[in-house]
Amino acid sequence: MSLGAVLTTTNPLNTPQEISKQVADSNPVLAFTTRPLASKIDKTIPIVLLEEPQPAGCENPQEVATIGEMISAEPDRNRVKERVSQDDTATLLYSSGTTGTSKGVVSTHRNLISMVQIIINRFQLDEPETFICTVPMFHVYGLAAFATVSSVWIYA
């Protein structure tokens, strides 16, 4: 998100049809997934595996890298950095609520900053803490409370 990317997540229990609807709506350019879930993703979307690559001869052309390769790669110093405004979209999360099919819900960087601050203040997190995460990371609460708040301590 700090690079200007918009994050969208999906429930791993969603059907390929439900994921296809979300893909058609959000128009992603890259997917991060595990090998068992890769078959649910549209074949035109490049995939970054959240695990080790397949053995030689078993490669999937859709897989462009692993998360380990991305982490260990040197940053490209020539890449133009996009300026990110607090009013820019940070996430597009999908929720069906109680009314049927999923709908995209936009959160701006300002929204996420506010959620993180609320959580830090509510739990009086003056320094890093250890929590057991029992909510799904594809849900806004899991994303805000665990993934985003955790990054505050990692990058502070």
Domain ranges of the chain: 1-81, 108-156
Helices (H), ranges, the chain: 16-26, 35-38, 67-72, 109-122, 140-142, 149-155
Strand order in the sheet with 47-49: 31-33, 47-49, 63-66
Q: What is the pLDDT of residue 87?
A: 95
Give percent helix, percent strand, percent coil of the chain, each to the nearest 5: 35, 15, 50
- Each of the 156 residues of the chain gets a pLDDT tens digit; together they read 777 889 999 888 888 998 999 999 999 999 999 989 999 998 999 999 998 877 766 677 888 999 998 889 887 777 666 788 999 999 998 886 666 777 888 999 999 888 888 877 887 777 777 777 777 878 777 777 766 666 554 444
Query: Do 10 and 102 contact (CB within 8 A), yes or no?
Result: no
- C-alpha–C-alpha distance, residues 4 and 140, integer Å: 19
Q: What is the pLDDT of residue 97?
A: 64
pTM assigned to the model: 0.78
Q: Tell which residue, 26, 25, 69, has the closest CA to residue 47.
A: 69
Q: Burial of 71 by CB count in 10 Å (0-12 exposed, 13-18 middle, 19+ buried)?
A: exposed
